[in-house]
Amino acid sequence: MSTTAVKTRSPRVVASAPTRAPKRGDRSRSVLMGLAFVVVALLALVPFWAMFIGTFQDGSLLIRYGLNLGLNPADANLDNYAMLFTDSGPYFGWFANSVIVTVVQVVGTLLVSAFVAYGFVMYEFRFKTPLFICVLVIMTVPFEMLMLPLYVQTNAMGLEDSYAAVILPFLAQATTIFFFRQYLLGIPTEILEAGRVDGVTEYGIFFRLVLPLMKPAMAAMAILNGMATWNNFLWPLLVLRSPEKYTLPIGLNTLLTPYGNNYSLLIVGAFFSLIPILLLFLAFQRFFIQGMTAGAVKG
């Protein structure tokens, strides 16, 4: 009986490509870029450090020498902080007003602008392109040109001296609409059909399917709109007349009068006004870079 030789194929070993070691030039470039970023970060922190040092100095010293980066231990005290928490007058009322206005306006702006951008991307309708061109044109118009017509309109609607006059004109932000539209262009429109097949309503598609995908963009715009609203001075100054309704920027400005300037409260109050924006950034910073880059490259 003849035997048949069975050939066995030995397993083929695939050599993995050798990992390329970083060149010396690449390492040097990375080190230089890191040092450059550190220097830029330190320069950006200089004003905050000067403000922090100023909170331990008397207001008369601030007038005489101005803000500086060094602090003489003999001149350091906690009198400004004691005055802030015991004899600051309406400061914390202004602080609460700013928090309320900022939260309501940021949430409203994100929701309204997301609705508008969602409509531009996911639906086809008449005059879609001309309306989006109007959004782009509005982005180029300075607020100073819109300020007087807005003021006349809010007075005609009976909204003067109210938070509604501060918030309503800015719920549909052209910049936020544009940013959300660019971000939503990366989301496939098939998600609408999938939701409709499953019996989800149009609002359900937006809130349950699309909105969770917009978290990075929402976080980026929450930080930018929150900073703009918190620091907004000119428009609230025009429409608010009652001192008890003043927001923090207006209230701090009232500390500077022709009859006397309360620099001690002004410096410590301005320093404490940075805390909400810092907390806002820390809460959303992990989404911030992702949202900004995604919104910038979609097109």
Residue 23 lies in a domain: no
Q: Which of 43, 77, 111 is the last residue of a domain?
A: 77
121/150 same-domain check = yes
Q: Which of 51, 77, 103 is the last residue of a domain?
A: 77
Q: What pLDDT sits at residue 92?
A: 93
Q: What pLDDT sits at residue 87?
A: 81
Q: What pLDDT sits at residue 8?
A: 47
Residue 14 lies in a domain: no
162/47 same-domain check = no
- Which DSSP string do the residues of the chain spell out, in sequence order? -PPPPPPPPPPPPPPPPPPPPPPHHHHHHHHHHHHHHHHHHHHHHHHHHHHHHHTTS-HHHHHHH---S---TTT--SHHHHHHHHS-TTHHHHHHHHHHHHHHHHHHHHHHHHHHHHHHHH---TTHHHHHHHHHHHHHS-HHHHHHHHHHHHHHTT-TTSHHHHHGGGSS-HHHHHHHHHHHTTS-THHHHHHHHTT--HHHIIIIIIGGGGHHHHHHHHHHHHHHHHT--HHHHHH---GGG--HHHHHHTTEETTEE-HHHHHHHHHHTHHHHHHHHHHHHHHHHHHHHHHHH--
- Residue 48: domain span: 34-77
Residues (pLDDT < 50) of the chain are 1-10, 13-14, 17, 295-299
Model confidence, pTM: 0.81
54/162 same-domain check = no
42/120 same-domain check = no
Q: Which of 48, 77, 106 is the last residue of a domain?
A: 77
Residue 208 lies in a domain: yes
CATH number reported for the structural domain that contains residue 256 in this entry: 1.10.3720.10
53/144 same-domain check = no
pLDDT tens-digit readout, 217-233:
898 899 999 999 999 99
